[in-house]
Amino acid sequence: MIQLEKRRNISKFWTTLTPVIAVFLTMSFGGLMFGLLLGDFSSAFGAIKLIFWDPLFDENFAPYARPQLLVKAGPIILIAIGLSIGFKAGIWNIGAEGQYILGAIFGASIALSLYPQESILIFPAMILAGALGGFIWALIPALLKVYFKTNEILVSLMLVYVAENILASVSQGLLRNPEGMGLPGSRNLKDYPSAHNSEIIPNSGMHWGVLTAFLAVILAYFLFLKHQKGYEIRLAGEAPKAAYFAGINPSKTIIFCMGMSGLLAGMAGLFEVAGPAGQITMSFNSGYGFTAIIVAFLGRLNPLGILLAGLLMALTYIGGEIAQLMLGLPGASIQLLQGMLLFFLLATDIFTNYRFKSRSS
């Protein structure tokens, strides 16, 4: 008879190993799924190789795919780092998508209102506005939680739908390109040098947002390892009562965690709209806010883990696009693959929290 026994401390060994196992399980089951979809199991391995290997190492795809890896990973990592701060404290901001959209709208509005003036100050001002937009949007669920104990999961999620409607409205109205012949969508910021989030090194994919994401990883690492605030956040999540009696103000923790995650998501939105997306359109957001939730968990809420998980998730996006092109795999299968990854990770979590013990009856 095999029995489960809760570990006193979570196993470090399994914490590191389980994400790797989850990735392999996803590849195996994903391959099986693609085999079914294509009606040919011999091509299943090829499909998995096309998604996880070829974007990086195949000479036909790599020149395009490697820079794209950074372009896609940047916003995902930036958002996930912010979310991980809250998740550690047991504060569930799942509306990052909305904060991302608001950040983009705020930031782009600065640029669009100043067009066509050129100044070196415009881009920094846009970044600040983007951060502010995301921050304000995240502050709504935070303050409602602090003052009225309203559930932040539901409020932050409802605000995603509100944000999507605002986005639809401004891309057809307020921020519409006056020279766009009535088509929805703003001016393209790529044609506005002072506002364009350009690549720092040409053809590397490395734009200011990617740099900010890397910076956020480093800062988060120090926050949790060296800083008092990081300790307080961890304590609030793991032992809320102990944190309370230690004099850690739960309201401040909520506002800090939600605010930070909104701020980073808002910045990610601005970098995306001023760079790779170029303009505010009804569908410029590509669900990064939700993907970042998977990335935060896959990276074990650890900054370095999130960096790796973000790159992996970006790889599935790019590999998925290639597979769509080469094999005609539907785009939704990649979404399913990402969901599967989260599921397998959660399933293998049992090894980190419990140990198996055989007991003779």
Partner 1 sequence: MVIFGIDLVLLISALMISATPVLLAAIGEAVVEKSGVLNLGVEGMMITGAVIGFIFAVNTQTPIYGFICAAIAGALLSVMFAVLTQYIMSNQVATGLGLTMVGLGLSALIGKPYEGIKSPTLSKIEIPILSDIPVLGPMIFSHDAIVYFSVILVATVAFVISKTRIGLVLRAVGENQEAAHALGYKVVRIRFLAIMFGGATAGIGGAYISLARVPQWTEGMTAGAGWIALALVVFASWKPWRVLLGAYLFGGITVLQLNLQAIGVAIPVEILSMSPYLVTIVVLVGISLFGHHTAPGSLARPFHASQ
Binding residues vs partner 1 (CB under 8 A): 3-6, 37, 92, 94, 144, 148-151, 153-155, 157-159, 161-162, 165-166, 168-169, 173, 290, 293-294, 297, 330-340, 342-343, 346-347, 349-350, 353-354
What are phi and psi for residue 6, nearest 5 degrees? Answer: -70, 135
Do the Cβ atoms of 177 and 280 come closer than 8 Å?
no
Count CB-CB contacts under 10 A for residue 16. Answer: 13
272 Cβ contact partners less than 8 Å away, ≥ 6 residues apart: 75, 100, 104, 209, 284, 285, 288
Using the minimum distance from each CB to partner 1, give the nearer residue, 76 or 274.
Answer: 76
C-alpha closest to that of 301 among 251, 348, 345: 345
Using the minimum distance from each CB to partner 1, give the nearer residue, 53 or 161.
Answer: 161
List helix spans (H) across 39-61: 44-52, 54-57
Using the minimum distance from each CB to partner 1, give the nearer residue, 139 or 340.
Answer: 340
Interatomic CA distance for residues 29 and 45, integer angstroms: 11
- Shortest reach from residue 12's CB to partner 1, in Å: 19
- Three-class SS of 147-175: HHCCCHHHHHHHHHHHHHHHHHHHHHCCC
Do the Cβ atoms of 186 and 50 come closer than 8 Å?
no
- Shortest reach from residue 251's CB to partner 1, in Å: 15
Do the Cβ atoms of 267 and 274 come closer than 8 Å?
no
- Shortest reach from residue 77's CB to partner 1, in Å: 19
Do the Cβ atoms of 189 and 273 come closer than 8 Å?
yes
Using the minimum distance from each CB to partner 1, give the nearer residue, 302 or 333.
Answer: 333
Using the minimum distance from each CB to partner 1, give the nearer residue, 131 or 309.
Answer: 309
Using the minimum distance from each CB to partner 1, give the nearer residue, 124 or 330.
Answer: 330
- Shortest reach from residue 161's CB to partner 1, in Å: 4
Structure tokens that stand for 353 in this block = 């929290």
Structure tokens that stand for 163 in this block = 């944000």
Using the minimum distance from each CB to partner 1, give the nearer residue, 325 or 346.
Answer: 346
Do the Cβ atoms of 19 and 345 come closer than 8 Å?
yes
Using the minimum distance from each CB to partner 1, give the nearer residue, 79 or 267.
Answer: 79
166 Cβ contact partners less than 8 Å away, ≥ 6 residues apart: 101, 102, 105
Using the minimum distance from each CB to partner 1, give the nearer residue, 221 or 343.
Answer: 343
Using the minimum distance from each CB to partner 1, give the nearer residue, 7 or 227.
Answer: 7
- Shortest reach from residue 241's CB to partner 1, in Å: 14
- Beta strands, E only, the chain: 2-6, 354-358
- Shortest reach from residue 2's CB to partner 1, in Å: 13
- Shortest reach from residue 222's CB to partner 1, in Å: 26
- Shortest reach from residue 289's CB to partner 1, in Å: 12
- Shortest reach from residue 78's CB to partner 1, in Å: 19
Do the Cβ atoms of 218 and 225 come closer than 8 Å?
no
- Shortest reach from residue 322's CB to partner 1, in Å: 18
Do the Cβ atoms of 330 and 34 come closer than 8 Å?
no
